[in-house]
């Protein structure tokens, strides 16, 4: 799967990226993590408050940093 | 009576003031009536008080805010027209999470969803200016009358400023790319109480990390004004009878970037030195509503003309509020 972390480089976005990578390696799933920093690209997803998590082009979380546990639950339920 | 007592103990934290007084006088052996002891008391007491109030308030507010993400605010605003939309924009600005770093996505998201830019500006003016935390802190440091008056004039400024921008039809000065990607309408996430509590906790750490330095600097300046700068000097520059005091406070405040929490102790110290309440409010509003960093960000989405109109309207509004409060300060404020 393709996971995108949307955010223009704030500390929260880095935290979300780190949590996501941790969740992926804990689950042992195959996933590409891509950072999206361009504002117009972020807006195209309809997100107004970063950071946001997009899994296979579907916005799953926006405006907050989920815990590693929450991301694990989210990814394994797909 | 009971309200008065609760107000003094919980909001003004008289117990803390007494505790710090005991610490400064008995443990450190300093005289509170002397400069150093007095400044130290002001500094310790204000720093602890602001951090306690801030943590409790931000926690509560972040929890409430988790019900109003910008996507929902946008939907609510879309239902209203004319000045009603401006009023709701200003009101939602007080509860919607906001920092200058998210002003650009908000601006684009609101504008390309078809909201009039005046409504977006009402929101952008009230958001940094008025929030629940600042109201309670104002009530704690000054009193409830000043806190409510601050909210009221802040909201009026936001509604009026936004309406004026609508009236002037300045849409053509918004950069065209803003209208290009119509943002998708996303379904709102359903959050559990556990997640909301997590959001509230993250909100506290996030804000404290962001503002602690401003608070220390603000209280430091406040303590210096409080005990080291002679009252005659302060009143000579910023005294209520000086016609230029509000103008000076506003002009000094505009380029500064600080949180309202860092600004309050400075305003507090100025008022105890005989500065008019209108001058102090003008200073706080100028610091929070307009700043160089937020202007530089906004410049990315609007042309210089609209930016100057926005800054101009807010500045004039702050000046009117400042002079108004000084002139009618007899409300017992």
Alpha-carbon span A28 to B218, nearest angstrom: 49
Closest residue of chain B to A42, computed from CA coordinates: B105
pLDDT digits (tens, 9 = 90+) for A57-71: 888 888 888 889 989
Query: Given this model, what pLDDT does residue B182 score?
Result: 62
DSSP state of B182: P
| Strands of A2-6's sheet in order across | A32-36, A2-6, A52-55, A58-62
Angle at the Cα of B267 from the Cα atoms of B263 and B269, rounded to 5 degrees: 120
Confidence band, pLDDT 50/70/90 cuts, at residue B37: confident
Catalytic residue among A3, A5, A6, A13: A13
Alpha-carbon span B20 to B167, nearest angstrom: 53
Mean pLDDT of chain B: 83
Alpha-carbon span A1 to A20, nearest angstrom: 13
Catalytic, A23? Answer no
- Residue B41 pairs with which residues in a beta bridge? none
Residue B30 main-chain phi, psi, to 5 deg: -100, 155
Residue whose C-alpha is closest to residue B219's, from B254, B266, B177, B178: B266
Of B66, B69, B181, the CB nearest to A43: B181
Please tell me the distance in Å from B185's CA to the nearest CA on chain A: 6
Confidence band, pLDDT 50/70/90 cuts, at residue A47: confident
**Highest mean pLDDT, choosing among A20-34, B213-227, B264-278:** A20-34
Query: Which of A60-64, B243-247, B294-298, B317-321 comes out lowest in average pLDDT?
Result: B294-298
Mean pLDDT of chain A: 86
Beta carbon pairs, A and B, within 8 Å: 68
State both tokens at B280: 């102090």
CB neighbour list of residue B135: distance below 8 Å, 6 or more residues apart: B147, B148, B150, B151
Please tell me the distance in Å from B84's CA to the nearest CA on chain A: 23
pLDDT digits (tens, 9 = 90+) for B39-82: 888 889 888 988 888 888 888 888 887 888 877 888 888 888 88
Which residues in B have their CB inside 8 Å of a CB on A? 66, 69-71, 74, 97, 101-102, 104-106, 108-110, 112, 177, 180-181, 183-186, 189, 195, 198-199, 202, 206
Query: Given this model, what pLDDT does residue B316 score?
Result: 92
Query: Given this model, what pLDDT does residue B312 score?
Result: 92
User: Considering the entire predicted model, what is its pTM?
Assistant: 0.78
Of A40, A63, A70, the CB nearest to B69: A63
pLDDT digits (tens, 9 = 90+) for B238-282: 877 778 889 998 988 888 777 777 888 888 888 888 888 889 889
* Structure-token match 């807010």, residue found: B314
| CB spacing of B183 vs A40 below 8 angstroms | no
Residue A39 pLDDT greater than 70, yes or no: yes
Residue B207 pLDDT greater than 70, yes or no: yes
Please tell me the distance in Å from B123's CA to the nearest CA on chain A: 14
What is each CA distance from B199 to A61, A64, A67, B18, B71, in whole angstroms? 13, 7, 10, 35, 17
| CB spacing of B105 vs A48 below 8 angstroms | yes
Average pLDDT, integer, range B134-162: 87
Residue B181 pLDDT greater than 70, yes or no: no
Average pLDDT, integer, range B83-109: 76
Look up the ipTM and state it.
Answer: 0.72
Contact B219, B51 (CB under 8 A): no
Query: Given this model, what pLDDT does residue A18 score?
Result: 92
Q: Is A9 on the interface with B (CB under 8 A)?
A: no
Please tell me the distance in Å from B186's CA to the nearest CA on chain A: 7
Residue B288 pLDDT greater than 90, yes or no: no
CB neighbour list of residue B122: distance below 8 Å, 6 or more residues apart: B85, B86, B87, B89, B90, B93, B158, B159, B161, B162, B163
Residue B239 main-chain phi, psi, to 5 deg: -60, 155
Query: Given this model, what pLDDT does residue B97 score?
Result: 54
Q: DSSP H helical segments within B228-329, as ranges?
A: 231-238, 245-253, 260-272, 277-289, 292-298, 304-327
Alpha-carbon span B269 to B327, nearest angstrom: 20
- Chain B residues near residue A47 by CB distance under 8 angstroms: 105, 183, 186
């Amino acid at each position: 799967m393709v996971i995108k972390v949307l955010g223009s480089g704030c500390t929260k976005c880095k935290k979300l990226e780190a949590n996501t990578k941790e969740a992926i390696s804990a689950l042992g799933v195959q996933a590409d993590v891509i950072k999206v920093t361009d504002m117009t690209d972020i807006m195209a997803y309809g997100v107004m408050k970063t950071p946001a998590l997009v899994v296979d082009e579907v916005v799953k979380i926006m405006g907050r940093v989920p815990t590693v546990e929450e991301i694990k639950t989210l990814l394994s339920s797909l | 009576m009971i309200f008065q007592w609760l107000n003094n103990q919980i909001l003004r934290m008289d117990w803390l003031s007494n505790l710090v007084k005991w610490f400064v006088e008995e443990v450190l052996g300093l005289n509170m009536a002397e400069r150093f002891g007095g400044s130290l008391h002001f500094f310790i007491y204000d720093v602890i008080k602001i951090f306690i109030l801030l943590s409790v308030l931000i926690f509560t507010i972040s929890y409430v805010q988790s019900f109003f993400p910008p996507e929902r605010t946008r939907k609510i605003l879309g239902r209203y027209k004319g000045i009603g939309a401006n009023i709701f924009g200003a009101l939602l600005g007080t509860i919607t999470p906001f920092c200058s770093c998210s002003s650009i996505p908000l601006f684009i998201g609101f504008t390309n969803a078809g909201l009039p830019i005046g409504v977006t500006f009402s929101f952008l003016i009230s958001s940094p200016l008025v929030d629940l935390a600042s109201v309670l802190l104002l009530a704690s440091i000054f009193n409830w009358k000043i806190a409510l008056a601050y909210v009221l004039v802040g909201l009026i400024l936001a509604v009026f400023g936004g309406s004026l921008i609508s009236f002037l039809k300045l849409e053509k000065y918004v950069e065209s790319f803003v209208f290009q990607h119509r943002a998708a309408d996303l379904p709102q996430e359903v959050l559990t109480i556990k997640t909301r509590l997590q959001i509230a906790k993250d909100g506290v750490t996030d804000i404290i990390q962001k503002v602690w330095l401003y608070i220390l600097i603000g209280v430091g300046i406040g303590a210096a004004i409080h005990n080291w700068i002679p009252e005659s000097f302060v009143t000579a520059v910023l005294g209520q009878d000086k016609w230029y005091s509000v103008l000076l406070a506003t002009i000094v405040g505009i380029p500064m970037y600080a949180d309202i929490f860092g600004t309050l102790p400075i305003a507090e110290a100025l008022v105890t030195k005989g500065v008019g309440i209108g001058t102090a409010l003008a200073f706080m509003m100028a610091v929070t509503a307009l700043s160089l960093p937020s202007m530089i960000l906004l410049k990315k989405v609007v042309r210089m003309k609209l930016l100057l109109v926005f800054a101009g309207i807010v500045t004039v509004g702050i000046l009117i509020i400042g002079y108004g409060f000084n002139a009618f300060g007899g409300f017992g404020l």
